[in-house]
Structure 1
Amino acid sequence: MRLPSLFLRYSSFSGVLASITFWVFTIISITHNSWFDLSRHAFSDLGGPQASDPWIYNTGLVVSAIFIEFLSINMIISSNNKTSVISGSYLSIAGVFLVLVAIYPAGTKPHTFVSTWFFIQAFIAALIYGLSIIRERPFMGLAIVLIFIAGLLGSMASWPSTAFLETYEILLLTIFSIIYAYILTSTHRIG
């Protein structure tokens, strides 16, 4: 099996791995920070100055960002059109913003900007990808566009805490990643 085939096979699941990585590191970080309350805080508080061992949460963000970068490369290499290349490019930028969330944790001036733009870039990438496949895979393309709409509406809703909103948005991005992996593995039969 050639290296590109191996990379494409495994990196198509990188979005799911990014989500799993995020949740594992976040749960570990929560166990080190008994003060954390899902209904009052943002997940980023686990990487901020009041956290015990903030490196745990921030390391999880960086590792998750690496998986997002693998997914963006996969999207670009596997693309059938220029629009899906653009989607992969936006996703790559989202990965950079996720690293910046770790570099500028809660309590620093750029934090709100970089954390907000991570989600904006990731959802724009999903929207563009959904639109790029809507002709060949109308059901899947529409499902991804609806994920974008759900994310947009969710960002305008009233939530008990930022962590609840983040959970909702991350679950939507995870569903997008699952759909992407399904599309890629069922369409290309890699390897």
Structure 2
Amino acid sequence: MNCEKFHYLRWFGVITLGVYWALTLVSIMYNPSFSIFKNALSDLGATNANFPWIYNSALIFSAPFFFLFSLYLLCAATNKLQVIGASFLVISSLFLAFIGIFHSGTRPHGFVSTYFFFQSFLGILVWGMGSRKTMKLGISLFLCALVGAFLPWPSTAILEIYEIFLIAIFAFFVPLQSLERAL
């Protein structure tokens, strides 16, 4: 399928990060007792946080951008592995919204937040396996995420920031790779 009319969607992974971090930083400003060295990022959305709706909105509002980015990957897929990987990312975008809907302190929160990261890195791995040019990146990001999940971090927030950074590498790689092909 020709995705050229949707070429701008390749940047929506980057936009996802911008929306998420802009609102997360606002939430941090309203929660001076929050510490990335003691808390989880989701604590910003717990009922005892100041204005928890700001952080939960960050997750819910960034999810559609991640969904559209994932649809771009699905459209641009050149083989079955990339279709499967992009499909995993489509599903993970729904779980990104679920993290905000089932905020910290609710029963499903632990599952939806863990599954978002698991599904995202599985999608990145499988999508990357679909091309020789992206295979090393997909495997590297997956392995870094897997190893990172078992390291002794000072807090859950630091682990989450690390995992988000790995997703950011992928989100920036996709449009930059597309630009490289165009040159």
* TM-score, normalised by the number of residues in structure 1: 0.91
Aligned to 1:110: 108
**Alignment pair present for 1:158 and 2:159:** no
2:146 partner letter: L
Aligned to 1:5: 4
Aligned to 1:60: 58
Report 1:1-191 matches (<5 A). 5-7=4-6, 9-134=7-132, 137=133, 140-187=134-181, 189=182
Over the matched positions of the two proteins, sequence identity in percent amounts to 37
Cα-Cα RMSD: 1.4
1:66 partner letter: P
| SS of match in other structure, 1:59 | helix
Structure 1 segments (4+ residues) deviating >6 Å: none
5+ unaligned residues in a row in structure 2: which ranges?
none
2:36 partner letter: L
Deviation at 1:10, TM superposition (A): 1.2
| SS of match in other structure, 1:13 | helix
1:127 partner letter: L
5+ unaligned residues in a row in structure 1: which ranges?
none
1:40 partner letter: K
1:104-135 residue CA offsets vs partner (Å, 9 max, x unmatched): 1000010000000000000001000110112x
- Counterpart CA distance in 2 for 1:39 and 1:6 is 44
1:69-115 residue CA offsets vs partner (Å, 9 max, x unmatched): 01111011111111111111100110111111111100001000000
Deviation at 1:177, TM superposition (A): 1.1
- Counterpart CA distance in 2 for 1:70 and 1:57 is 21
Matched residue count: 181
- Counterpart CA distance in 2 for 1:11 and 1:85 is 16
- Counterpart CA distance in 2 for 1:5 and 1:26 is 32
